[in-house]
Structure 1
């Protein structure tokens, strides 16, 4: 709107926006989450860090280490050392 006086060299912008909301499907499965609270235990924390360090050393020896390789390694190590969080129906 060029005719609006806003006290400068800026122009006022007017927009119409339509927002359609929908509920989540009840049957959708949620991604399982790792039990990161177990990292507070020093034994579990030490085991996790050693496994991660060893896996990164193996990946570093390869020619190319991608972010996908790193994410896969983190997921595998977390699954082995931490396990999955127990979910309740309220989550």
Structure 2
């Protein structure tokens, strides 16, 4: 067995090597053979430090009719106030969008609140209600 045909590779890339073969047909004036390697590079995900987490609102509260009505009323009041403000002064489309976005997010923050846990709910609200009934 010939020990001359080897590939030197950086330790960092040793797991990227998929296949290594020698090509004996290469016409080289040496006792070496052409060695061909297939590498599959895996790009590292670039994490950005200091990035804030996405705010997820607790939309499960909207299933409750009382919370849904409270949310509708609060949002309607915000949009009316925003509409009155926009009628008084001339604003650009970008400023209008910022106002709408701010009104919507602040209303969601106040009425719905943020999600506390990011796990899948394995028990429904109806089941929790039945458990409370049974305990009482």
- Tell me, which stretches of 5 or more residues in structure 1 are unaligned? 1-17
Aligned to 1:61: 84
Q: Calculate the TM-score normalised by the size of structure 1.
A: 0.64
Aligned to 1:22: 45
Which is higher, the Rg of structure 1 or of structure 2? 2
Aligned to 1:72: 102
1:87 maps onto 2:117 in alignment: yes
What is the deviation of 1:30?
1.7
**Number of corresponding residues:** 73
RMSD: 3.1
- Tell me, which stretches of 5 or more residues in structure 2 are unaligned? 1-40, 120-136
> 1:23–1:50: structure 2 CA closer, same or farther, 3 Å change rule?
same
Give 1:43's match in structure 2, choosing from 57, 66, 70: 66
Q: Distance in 1 between matches of 2:73 and 2:106?
A: 13
1:11-62 CA-to-partner distances (Å, cap 9, x unmatched) read xxxxxxx984416469854222110111010000000000111111111112
What is the deviation of 1:87?
2.4
- Which of 1 and 2 has higher RCO (CA within 8 Å, sep 6+)? 1
**Which deviates further from its counterpart, 80-89 or 30-39?**
80-89
Structure in which a larger fraction of residues adopt strand: 2
